[in-house]
Amino acid sequence: MTATAWPWRRAAIAGACLLGSLLLYGYARDRAFVARPYLAEPAAGHVVVRGITKNPTRWTAVPLTPGSPHGEEAAPTRLHQIEFSRLPADRIVEIQILEDGNPVQGGKLRFKTEPGPAAATFDFIVVGDSGGHPDRVLEMFGATPAQGAKKRPDRLVKWMSEARPQLLLHAGDVTYPKGSRDDYARAFFRPFEPLIATAPVVAAPGNHDLKTEDGAPFLDVFRHSNAPPLSEGKYYSFDYGPMHVSVLDSNEEDFELLDNQSRWLRADLRAAKRPWKIVLCHVPLLFNCNDQRARHSPRQVAICDALRVICEVEGVSVVFAGHRHWYERSLPTNGITQIITGGGGDELDDYRKFGVGTYARAESYFHFVHGRVNGDVLTIDAIRDTGENFEDPGGARILRRR
């Protein structure tokens, strides 16, 4: 080896080290189970600010505008929660989150409080199966996945934010493949950060969300204080604006837990006072053909059928679900319209390959649903990652059940 070859060898070694560092960075980026402040646990006159830190600290919320609330945690913790109750309806709130007295990065939150049951209009977003993402290393170099491959959900969040929703509903499968803690920062908190700092988020558990620690990471992020004692935190309800939303665990194949959930759901819907009764779940309650029914276990089918019948009897107008990686709006069935919104980021499926069913609209696109309640009419827009609305011109109109 001549002396003149050494500079080339050193350059090659340096290049290999640099590439290795980039690969390690691409793999490790956003792996920690941490989150900047976000809005959660919506209810009438109520919202919670949550966040997750690497080490225990104490958070305080200080108002930035007159009339905005103040709150603080009692002791240092990693899973932060500051609760605001008795909030006046339809007000703009601006607060700053402090960590041990210092401003938190991303800690300025501005949101609108729950508008009350008589709101003239109410905008919300529904998305499901957003846990998909491209390869971390390819992502660093700006690679764009082909249609049908996994896609980053932040491309949809851009359009979601422009809709200025007052509530974000997630139909489950927030992270893939098994809802592990180290996937949340990368697959949920980072892409959804612009949205969950301005609108509270609620999620129904997906089958992938429950594969790690029986869903403990999912519950740490999306727990709701209104969950009944026998629910294990996986089903509950809340009022927000003109809607009463019942969040269900439609994955569960345990008949004892089904009995508990069924009894609760029947009583919950009968007691609901808000004009619109809405259900949010992961596995759809309505199967549009026998081929789709056959793709689920008999126990799963029995559970979905049982929950669907209760919804029909107790006046639910719309069921939002995910699980199937496409968009599908059903024909009204016994008073209920089911909307499947499973195109939030994971690999798409071609709905035509899953049996010939009956439906009002179906498309295999990356998308989310924008809902707007205006009195007794709910208008549904289905928005692609390009910003195009591929539903009926002017949106699909759903009438409230009386």
pLDDT computed for residue 147 by the predictor: 47
Q: What is the CA radius of gyration of the chain?
A: 22
Q: Mean pLDDT over residues 304-312, rounded?
A: 95
Token pair for 156: 């949809």
Q: Is the pLDDT assigned to residue 320 strictly greater than 50?
A: yes
pLDDT computed for residue 155 by the predictor: 84
Q: pLDDT tens, 26-58?
A: 444 556 789 999 999 999 999 999 999 999 999
pLDDT computed for residue 209 by the predictor: 94
pLDDT computed for residue 288 by the predictor: 81
Strands across the sheet containing 46-57: 77-84, 46-57, 35-43, 201-203, 168-170, 122-127, 367-374, 377-384, 396-399
Q: Mean pLDDT over residues 283-294, rounded?
A: 83
Q: Mean pLDDT over residues 70-95, rounded?
A: 96
Token pair for 155: 């491309």
Q: pLDDT tens, 180-238?
A: 998 898 889 989 999 999 999 999 999 999 999 999 999 999 999 999 998 999 999 99
Q: Is the pLDDT assigned to residue 4 strictly greater than 60?
A: no
Q: pLDDT tens, 256-271?
A: 777 899 999 999 999 9
pLDDT computed for residue 47 by the predictor: 97
Q: Is the pLDDT assigned to residue 150 strictly greater than 80?
A: no
Report the alpha-carbon distance of residue 276 to residue 118 in Å, rounded.
Answer: 11
Residue 55's CB is within 10 A of a number of other CB atoms, namely 8
**pLDDT confidence bin for 6, thresholds 50/70/90:** low
Considering only residues 325 and 144, tell me which one the structure prediction assigns the higher pLDDT.
Answer: 325
pLDDT computed for residue 52 by the predictor: 96
pLDDT computed for residue 90 by the predictor: 93
pLDDT computed for residue 297 by the predictor: 83
For residue 178, give the nearest of 229, 135, 212 by alpha carbon. 212
Q: Is the pLDDT assigned to residue 295 strictly greater than 90?
A: no
**pLDDT confidence bin for 357, thresholds 50/70/90:** confident
Which domains are present in the chain? Answer: 45-112 (2.60.40), 122-399 (3.60.21.10)
Report the alpha-carbon distance of residue 346 to residue 107 in Å, rounded.
Answer: 29
**pLDDT confidence bin for 22, thresholds 50/70/90:** very low
pLDDT computed for residue 134 by the predictor: 47
Considering only residues 355 and 124, tell me which one the structure prediction assigns the higher pLDDT.
Answer: 124
With a CB cutoff of 8 Å and minimum separation 6, the contacts of 197 are: 36, 37, 38, 39, 106, 109, 110, 111
Alpha helices in 272-353 (DSSP H): 290-294, 298-313
Mean pLDDT score of the chain, rounded to an integer? 88
